[in-house]
Amino acid sequence: MVCFGSCAGGAYGASSESRICSEYRCKTLVAGTRVRVLKATARHKQQTPSSITFAQWVLTGRLEPISNSEALERVTSHFVIAGRYLAFASVSVDPDEEYGFPETTILLNAKTGRERRMPGTFFEAPSRGVVQVVVTAAGSLAWMIEGLFHDPIGEPAAGYPAGRAIYGLRAGAKEPALLAYSENIVPMSLAATSGRIYWLETSGPRTYAAP
């Protein structure tokens, strides 16, 4: 039996993959040369959790749990990999919340298991939430959000205006920065290369220096 939750803390060793995948159906969601994301889904209705997602440091086989269906706290998506870093969006699941959802972006150093959770945004339904995530090999991170959310540069007001925004975190920085907030941001235009993060607005390209 594979033991999750309170009977197993933290990461799983290299030998765990074969045990997990003998009891669960395993599927690779995304993979790089050093990191891959593995989702294990229950073979039987009686199994708990019904699914769990891991980040794996390929060089040693070490598995780091990043989502657990029983915890009802994370629905993960938009996985991107660069070097030893994995970044993804995370929605907190709250059955009592009828009008929207909080979502954040997470940066994981898959080699060390160190995770950084960015400040979240509450989105009023219907919203797309986090729509893009990019990361560099040095660990700089950026993400684009879209939907109904509080104006990040104005005074708090009733209601949620529709819009798009981009946030970025330079490698080594303590806090992320608001890079853009505009209806002129071109959807799905966020990208990253070594040394910069860039996106498009209707008036032209924009860049943010980041290792």
Q: What is the pLDDT of residue 137?
A: 96
Task: Say how many Å lie between the first and final Cα of the chain, rounded.
Answer: 43
Q: What is the pLDDT of residue 171?
A: 96
Q: What is the pLDDT of residue 8?
A: 43
What are 71's two structure tokens?
A: 């915890």
More confident site: 5 or 203 = 203
> What percent of the chain is predicted at pLDDT more than 90?
69
Write down the domain spans for the chain: 9-71, 72-211
DSSP assigned state of 175: S
pLDDT higher than threshold 90 for residue 28: yes
Per-residue pLDDT, averaged over 182-210, amounts to 95
Average pLDDT score over the chain = 88
pLDDT higher than threshold 50 for residue 6: no
Q: What is the pLDDT of residue 96?
A: 61
Distance CA 133, CA 80 (A): 7
More confident site: 73 or 183 = 183
pLDDT higher than threshold 70 for residue 36: yes
> What percent of the chain is predicted at pLDDT more than 70?
86
pLDDT tens, residue by residue, 109-147: 999 999 999 999 999 888 999 999 999 999 999 999 999
94 and 113 Cβ atoms separated by less than 8 Å = no
7 pLDDT band (50/70/90 cuts)? very low
Instruction: List the Cα angle 173/79/197 in 5-degree steps.
Output: 45
Distance CA 133, CA 103 (A): 13
Per-residue pLDDT, averaged over 32-36, amounts to 97
More confident site: 78 or 99 = 78
Q: What is the pLDDT of residue 69?
A: 63
pTM of the model: 0.89
Which residue in 185, 190, 118, 180 sits closest to 153, CA to CA?
A: 180
Per-residue pLDDT, averaged over 24-36, amounts to 97
At residue 198, the 3 state secondary structure works out as strand
Q: What is the pLDDT of residue 24?
A: 94
pLDDT higher than threshold 70 for residue 53: yes
Which residue in 58, 89, 92 sits closest to 76, CA to CA?
A: 89
Secondary structure E strands in the chain? 24-31, 35-42, 51-57, 62-68, 75-82, 85-91, 100-109, 114-117, 121-135, 141-148, 162-169, 177-181, 191-193, 195-201, 204-210
